[in-house]
Amino acid sequence: MGRSGLHRCLALAASLSLVSLHGAAAAPSAPRQVVPTVCKAWRIVPAPHLTDGQMRGVSGTSSTDVWSVGSFGESGVPPITLHWDGTTWSQVPASTAADGLFYKVAAISPTDVWAVGYAYGANGAIKSLIEHWDGSAWTLSPSPSPQTYDYLNSVTAISSSDVWAVGSYTATSGTVIHGLVEHWDGSVWNLVRVPDATPYATIFQGVDAISSTDIWAVGYEQTQSGITSPIQPMAEHWDGSSWTVVGITPPSGVSNELYDVSAVSTSDVWAVGVYGSALSGLQSLTEHWDGAIWTQVIAPQAPTFINTLSGVTAISSSDVWAAGQSSNGGPAAPLTLHWDGKVWALVPAASPYNSAFLDTWAESATDIWAVGASGSPAVPFTEQSKGPCP
């Protein structure tokens, strides 16, 4: 989740003074013309040009210590890890012990960072993948992988001995998909029992912690059997002893998912995703927890058939960013929204060809990051903001 970019817009004043070639008094100055420039809240920050690369997660500890993780398009290669030192992005090799993808990253300190995703196993199996940065290198951290297909989609860290990762697992294709939750206690990763939201599919996509006794995980549930059955947003809460399903009123549509969650406090939590259908169009979904219930908060949509939000970062109750993409089925464009405490507003981002944001993270109200991919074939894509335009 993230924070930084361009902010203040400067107007350039141009004036001309004409002087007589024969020593006559100078002609009156032309009227001052103020030429306003367009405020750009986001600016592109060059990242290493890695063909087929896309950045899926971003987190950091300061303005000079930011990590982004992702993957290459093909299998059989290690994930991507990039580091920002305050000046440039540099590729830092992930462990060569596993080939796969990283989805998200959580930074505790410059010497304590976790990245999660999945690795390719034998005979087509998918196994949970967790790696740790100790300040000098990424190393594989053994993690439970309960079935044939095990995915970790997100991670949040409270301390060096209290880290949570969430995702899903299933025995074979077409069978029931269960929610997957793993916890790091400072020594080992352990499976944590979590209830399934429905008997058909429970998939966690995002997780965020307010404290060790107040954690939210969001995603989606399948409400009927069959691969074409409706899917609806889902949330579960950890109170320090157990996970509990917390109901969300489904929005209209049959393709409704939550991808990420970010908390300001116990009574101020945001989750984002998508709702609608392939026939009627997909729209950005923003849900808010007020300490008692989840409520959909209508967000503005780009004038396209598809709007999705993949990441959210909550700085304060009046400063929340969400990032994703919009398209009409062809090349995508980055999508960013800002919450000022009252309404969501679209905030234009720089938009190179076929670009999309997959996550966002804020270090402060004036240091926000969004990461994803752009181009065809894709390459890593990052932008930075210093906050919304005044």
pLDDT score for 22: 28
pLDDT-derived band at 173 (thresholds 50, 70, 90) equals low
pLDDT value, residue 157: 98
| Number of Cβ within a 10 Å radius of residue 121 | 18
Q: What's phi and psi for 124, nearest 5 deg?
A: 80, 5
| pLDDT exceeds 60 at position 3 | no
Give the lowest-confidence range in 81-95, 101-115, 224-238, 297-311: 224-238
- CB contact at 8 A, 79 and 94: yes
Give pTM, 2 decimals. 0.89
Is the pLDDT at 10 greater than 50, yes or no? no
What pLDDT is attached to residue 228?
74
CB 322 within 8 A of CB 284: yes
For the chain, the average pLDDT equals 89
Report pLDDT for 79: 96
Query: pLDDT tens digits for 36-84?
Result: 445 679 999 999 999 999 999 999 999 999 999 999 986 678 999 999 9
Tell me the backbone φ, ψ of residue 123, rounded to 5 degrees.
55, 35
Pair 112, 122: CB distance under 8 Å? no
Q: What is the pLDDT of residues 100-122, one digit of tens each?
A: 999 999 999 999 999 999 999 88
With CA atoms as reference, report the closest residue to 265 among 209, 309, 207: 209
Q: How far is CA 182 from CA 118, 135, 234, 298, 342, in A?
A: 13, 23, 18, 33, 36
Q: Cite the beta strand spans of 76-199 per DSSP E.
A: 80-84, 89-91, 100-109, 112-120, 126-133, 138-140, 149-159, 162-170, 178-184, 189-191
Strand partners, 49: none
Does the pLDDT value for residue 281 go beyond 50? Answer: yes
Query: Is it the case that residue 23 has pLDDT exceeding 70?
Result: no
CA-CA distances (angstroms) from residue 268 to 272, 316, 348, 389? Answer: 14, 9, 26, 24
With pLDDT > 90 as the criterion, what percentage of the chain qualifies? Answer: 78
The mean per-residue pLDDT over the stretch 123-138 comes to: 95
The per-residue pLDDT for 387 is 94
Q: Which domains does the chain possess?
A: 2-11+45-385 (2.120.10.80)
pLDDT band at 12 (very low <50, low <70, confident <90, very high): very low
pLDDT single digits (tens) 211-231: 999 999 999 999 887 777 889
Comparison of pLDDT for 20 and 205, the residue scoring more? 205
Residue 14 has pLDDT above 50, yes or no: no
pLDDT of residue 31 exceeding 80, the answer is: no
Q: Which two tokens stand for residue 169?
A: 């697992």
Tell me: pLDDT of 34 over 80. no
**Worst-scoring range by mean pLDDT, 15-19, 243-247, 319-323?**
15-19
The reported pLDDT for the residue numbered 270 is: 98
Q: What confidence score (pLDDT) does residue 39 get?
A: 62
User: How would you write 281-300 as a 3-class SS string?
Assistant: EEEEEEEEECCCCEEECCCC
